[in-house]
Amino acid sequence: MEDTTREKIEILLKGQRNYFSSHQTKNVDFRIESLTKFKAAILKYESKISDALYTDLRKSYEEAYMTEISIVLQEIDNHLKNLRRWVKPKRAKTPIYLFPSSSKTIYEPLGIALIFAPWNYPFQLLMNSLVGAISAGCCVILKPSPYTPTVAKVMEELIQSAFESQYIGIVQGGRKVNEILFHQRFDIIFFTGSPAVGRVVMKAAAENLTPVVLELGGKSPCIVDADTNIDIAAKRIAWGKTINAGQSCIAPDYLFAHHSIKKKLIEKIATNLQKMYGTNIKLSPYYPRIVNQQAVERLQKLMLHGKIVFGGEVDINEKYLSPTIIDDVKTEFPVMQEEIFGPILPVLTFKYIQEVLDYVNANEKPLAFYYFGSNANAKDVFAKTTSGGGCINDTMLHITNHDLPFGGVGNSGMGKYHGHESFLAFSNSRGIVNSPTWLDLPLKYAPFNNFKLLKKFI
* Phi, psi (rounded to 5 degrees) for 189: -120, 125
Q: Are residues 281 and 428 in the same domain?
A: no
**d(Cα 15, Cα 140) in Å, to the nearest integer?**
11
List pLDDT tens digits, range 367-394. Answer: 999 999 998 899 999 999 999 999 999 9
Task: Report CA 184 to chain centroid distance, whole Å.
Answer: 24
Q: Are residues 199 and 270 in the same domain?
A: no
Q: Is residue 138 annotated as part of the catalytic site, yes or no?
A: no
Q: Are residues 188 and 312 in the same domain?
A: no
Q: Are residues 303 and 375 in the same domain?
A: yes
Whether 452 is in a domain gets the answer no
Is the CB of residue 355 less than 8 Å from the CB of residue 349?
Answer: no
Torsion sign across C-alpha atoms 285, 287, 291, 293: negative
**d(Cα 230, Cα 227) in Å, to the nearest integer?**
8
Q: Are residues 57 and 14 in the same domain?
A: yes
Whether 314 is in a domain gets the answer yes
- Active-site pick, 215, 339, 391, 421: 215
Whether 448 is in a domain gets the answer no
Q: Are residues 243 and 148 in the same domain?
A: no
- Active-site pick, 249, 339, 391, 421: 249
**d(Cα 128, Cα 399) in Å, to the nearest integer?**
11
At residue 53's C-alpha, the angle toward residues 237 and 389, to 5°, is: 40
**d(Cα 35, Cα 245) in Å, to the nearest integer?**
31
**What per-residue confidence (pLDDT) applies to 441?**
86
Q: Are residues 157 and 260 in the same domain?
A: no
Give the domain CATH number at 420.
3.40.605.10
**What per-residue confidence (pLDDT) applies to 454?**
79
Q: Which domain holds residue 28?
A: 6-216+412-432
**What per-residue confidence (pLDDT) applies to 422?**
98
Q: Are residues 200 and 173 in the same domain?
A: yes
Whether 337 is in a domain gets the answer yes
> Which is nearest to 356 in space by CA: 280, 227, 247, 258?
258
> Which is nearest to 323 in space by CA: 273, 368, 285?
273
Give the domain CATH number at 294.
3.40.309.10
Q: Are residues 166 and 18 in the same domain?
A: yes
Whether 108 is in a domain gets the answer yes
Beta bridge partners of 90: 105
Q: Is residue 249 annotated as part of the catalytic site, yes or no?
A: yes
Which residues of the chain, if any, have pLDDT below 50? none
Whether 456 is in a domain gets the answer no
Q: Are residues 157 and 274 in the same domain?
A: no
List pLDDT tens digits, range 315-331. Answer: 999 999 999 999 999 99
Query: Number of structural domains, the chain?
Result: 2
Q: Are residues 134 and 235 in the same domain?
A: no
Whether 267 is in a domain gets the answer yes
Whether 262 is in a domain gets the answer yes
Q: Are residues 185 and 301 in the same domain?
A: no
